[in-house]
Amino acid sequence: MSFELILLLLMLATFAVSVFLLKMPAGVSLILAALVGGLVDGHGIPVRHLVEGGFGFLEAIMIIATAMIFMKIMESSGVLERISIGIIKTFYRKPTLLIIVIVLFVMFPGMLTGLSSTCVLTTGVLVAPVLIAIGVPRLATGSLIAMAAVFGEVAPPISIPVMIIGGGVDMPYIGFTIPLLLVSLPAALFTAIYFRIRFVKKIDIDLVLRKLQLMENGERGFILYIPLIFVIGYMLSEIILHEYLPHLGVPLIFTIGSILGILISPRTKIIRVSREALRMALPVIVILVGVGMFLQILTLTGIRGYLAVSALQLPDAIKYLAASIMPFMGSAYASASVIGVPLVYVFIGKSAIVVTASLVMMAALGDLMPPPSLLCAYAAQTVEVKNHFRILKQSIIPILFSMVTALIVLIFAEEISRFFF
């Protein structure tokens, strides 16, 4: 057994003990694993490499921070609540379409921030009473919101797990839109239709609105939507009209959107909103710092090169089995860095972009899994269910469908790449 493999197993063991036995946060556990790797390899505490690795995902951290502030400002201005009211008033005659739109609406904050928890804590909180009012049981409502949060974390334009894997294999964040839609959109549609068939029948809109006690206030009207329109519109325009528009970068786009939101809704308390947003984002920011340090030490100790060379010798059955265990890491970001990065090397003969997209779906499902089951815990609080593992049990069928979808995309990654690109 090579020294690099022994060192890798030691780092992974440190991470596992820290997370599962000592109950430490995933980000701190990754930092400890990086420290152990540096010490055992004879580098002492490699401060320069740890600092360099800690700043490796600075762009992603800036995206998370600015996006969370923007979403909190939108929530404070009442835009998200108006959208949820509009959705049910527009689509109540077509329950299937209504559930699909609700799932996409819950996904929306995750698509902009790359954070699954944002989906549950913003749009998820808004649609939970709507789903319960139209006949979806509390457990199923929590499950639907948690699954939509996973798909929002995966879907473009912003996917933090992709950035983590890309940072580990030196792959730029370009060309992922179609592959990420291939793994997230079918699973999202299946989940919506699955819960629609099981629970939602004909909807009495008057009864629903009375239950919700919602009255749409037309004050200020369309002007409140301007920040949201600007952010989405400019992101799309940079893709379509990149030759004619200046490239602002995602953090600056969110910052401009936040400024517009404050100007349009001056009663928003920016200091309080920013504190809440950063408090929500801080655990993920710590994970990204830990991931950066972990990957930097993998490079410093030669483990990264060892994995790249050894991956070519693995049989196919082992490769796909390794991909299938990614959800059971309990964290999308930890799974993406610890398992996702080596697996890109394992499937080196396939399209790296499509492979990464499928691995990201596997990793994102880890946010549902014990021991932390963070999304299930957040969703349980939202629908007032004490045992959040009942939310996980309700989600088994959508989870399995999502895993199968990701595996199919992984198996046919090269064919998919040829067809689309």
CB within 8 Å of 9: residues ≥ 6 apart? none
Strands (E), 285-360: none
Instruction: Give 179-194 pLDDT, tens digit per residue.
Output: 999 999 999 999 999 9
In angstroms, the CA 38 to CA 172 distance is 27
DSSP helix/strand/coil, 147 = helix
pLDDT for 245 equals 82
Instruction: Give 402-413 pLDDT, tens digit per residue.
Output: 999 999 999 999
The total number of structural domains in the chain stands at: 1
Find the range with the poorest average confidence among 91-100, 143-152, 158-167, 313-322: 313-322
pLDDT for 38 equals 93
Domain residues for the domain of 165 are 3-420
In angstroms, the CA 152 to CA 355 distance is 19
DSSP helix/strand/coil, 268 = coil
> Which H or E element spans position 4?
helix 3-16
Mean pLDDT computed over every residue of the chain: 86
Find the range with the poorest average confidence among 149-153, 294-298, 370-374: 370-374
CB within 8 Å of 414: residues ≥ 6 apart? 349, 350, 351, 354
In angstroms, the CA 233 to CA 367 distance is 30
In angstroms, the CA 342 to CA 82 distance is 44
pLDDT for 32 equals 93
pLDDT of 206 above 70: yes
Residue pair 161/332 in contact by the 8 Å Cβ criterion:
yes
The pLDDT-based confidence of 202 (bands split at 50, 70, 90) is: confident
Residue pair 188/145 in contact by the 8 Å Cβ criterion:
no
The pLDDT-based confidence of 227 (bands split at 50, 70, 90) is: very high
pLDDT of 139 above 80: yes
In angstroms, the CA 269 to CA 261 distance is 11
Question: Which tokens is 13 given?
Answer: 């063991």
Query: What's the full length of the chain, in residues?
Result: 421
Average pLDDT over residues 333-340: 79
Average pLDDT over residues 161-169: 87
Three-class HEC string of 297-314: HHHHCCHHHHHHHHHCCC
